[in-house]
């Protein structure tokens, strides 16, 4: 089955952020496909490569990066939600003349059309708030 996940919660802020990752992992281990993971609302924070958890805490951002590399996942961060929350790639950093970019290479900034497309193309769509 083709799954898409929509993640609204920021890492370390509410349980949905970690649940989404665990679900993605279980999904892939069971032989299903993940069509897209769409990070929206506060979920866009997942894309920041500046995330620095404590030594004894789970590195959720790093875990997503690794899963994405292993399975060629399409991790999309909603551009409108990301910009206002301070998650930018180099293109947006230059466009808005900001001091830094922080989007990790495994993630891509894109529009809500990607969410609509994921809903249209997937067998199942799950939201994690």
Partner 1 sequence: MASMASTSTTQSDSTPEPAATATRSTLVVCRHSCFSSSLAREGLDAILASAAFEQPLAILFMGDGVWQLQKQQDGSIVQQKTPSNSLPILPMYGVERFYAQHSALEQRGLQADSLVLPVKPIRDAEIGILRQEFDTILSF
User: Catalytic amino acids?
Assistant: 78
In angstroms, rounded to a whole number, what is the distance separating the alpha carbons of residues 10 and 12?
A: 6
Query: Quick one: tokens of 38?
Result: 């769409």
Q: Strands, E, within 1-129: which ranges?
A: 2-7, 33-39, 75-78, 107-110, 124-128
CB-nearer residue toward partner 1: 59 or 93: 93
Of residues 34, 81, 88, 103, which one binds partner 1 by CB under 8 A? 81
Binding segment toward partner 1, per CB under 8 A, in 16-24, 65-73, 96-104, 105-113? 105-113
Using rule CB under 8 A, residue 14 touches partner 1: no
The DSSP secondary-structure symbol of 43 reads G
Q: Which residues lie near partner 1 (CB under 8 A)?
A: 6, 8, 40-42, 79-81, 109-117, 119-122, 124-125, 127, 129
């Amino acid at each position: 089955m083709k799954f898409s996940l929509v993640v609204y919660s920021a890492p370390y802020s509410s349980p949905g952020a970690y649940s989404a990752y665990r679900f993605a992992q279980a999904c892939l281990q069971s032989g299903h496909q993940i069509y897209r993971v769409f990070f929206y609302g506060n979920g866009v924070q997942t894309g920041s490569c500046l995330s620095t958890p404590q030594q004894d805490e789970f590195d959720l951002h790093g875990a997503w990066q690794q899963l994405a590399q292993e399975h060629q996942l399409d991790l999309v961060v909603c551009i409108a939600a990301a910009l206002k929350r301070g998650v930018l790639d180099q293109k947006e950093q230059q466009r808005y003349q900001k001091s830094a970019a922080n989007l990790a290479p495994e993630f891509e900034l894109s529009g809500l059309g990607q969410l609509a497309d994921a809903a249209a193309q997937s067998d199942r769509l799950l939201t994690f708030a």
